[in-house]
Amino acid sequence: MTASAQTRDEAGAPRRPLFSSERRRDWLTACAGGLVAAAGAGAAYLPWISPRVHAQRRAQPARRTGSRLPDVPLLTHDGRQVRFYSDLVRGRLVFISMMYTQCSERCPPMTQALRGVQEALGDRVGRDVFMYSISLLPEYDRPADLQAYRELHRVGPGWTFLTGAKKDVEQVRYALGFYDPDPEIDADLGQHTGMVRIGNDALDRWCMTFILSEPHLILEAFMGVDPVSRAAGASWARPMQS
């Protein structure tokens, strides 16, 4: 599942991934405490940047994260053609993960964990929070396959499953950081990343956390990018201790 072929833009220049693997640990640390805070209007706090460099960047014109996400065409589970950034992400609060319908070990529990998130957020999902799962095997997963997977796992509204041309999905995967720098590991579907990307495109706040954790921990990460939940003092039930 290597993304090496997708690391150049249309002009042939090297493409810089939006979330490089080297920065993944920093994003995880920020998410774990729910502390991804704005460092100025519409800017995300980047914990690996020194104060001097951060001050220099504040003095420069802002480069929005969303503008670096590919706006490639994709197909939804109900057969609609959409553009990844302009139709699905722009201005929205999003959860983005990757899966494939024939995955029998890791994907079902990850889907169930995200179902817990969906249930906890209630009617916000599909209204002001949107969930997306993108197939790692788009050459095999047709919209009908994704629809069947949704029905099997009793996924509710507001959570869209996506497929498309392999090259387009790979652009999205690489831009979001769902890859491993080791080509052999990256090509092994059995080791595909069990992460969810959480973003607030309107404020340009993004983080990543583990899917295979309790839903309340994923929601704590979500609070780091969603000032509405934080301002409202939102909290979610923890599992009962035995």
Model pLDDT for residues 182-229, shown as the tens digit of each residue: 888 888 877 666 899 999 999 999 999 999 888 999 999 999 999 887
Q: What is the pLDDT of residue 88?
A: 98
> Would you say residue 36 has pLDDT above 60?
no
Task: Write down the domain spans for the chain.
Answer: 25-33+46-231
The number of beta carbons lying within 10 Å of the beta carbon of residue 102 is: 14
CATH 3.40.30.10 fits 25-33+46-231, yes or no: yes
pLDDT of res. 180: 85
Cα–Cα nearest to 197, from 72, 17, 7, 19: 19
103 is in an annotated binding site: yes
DSSP 38: B
pLDDT band at 43 (very low <50, low <70, confident <90, very high): very low
Bridge partners of 198, per DSSP, are 95, 207
Check whether 207 is labelled as a binding-site residue. Answer: no
Alpha helices in the chain (DSSP H): 21-32, 51-58, 107-121, 143-152, 166-176, 183-187, 215-223, 227-231
Average pLDDT of the residues of the chain: 77
Both tokens of 24, joined, read: 């993944």
* CA-wise closest residue to 41 among 64, 18, 23: 64
- Kindly report the pTM of this predicted structure: 0.73
For the ranges 22-31, 46-55, 103-112, 117-126, the one whose mean pLDDT is highest: 117-126
Exposure string for 128-161, b = 16+ CB within 10 A, e = fewer: ebbbbbbbbbbeebbbebbbebbeeeebeebbbb
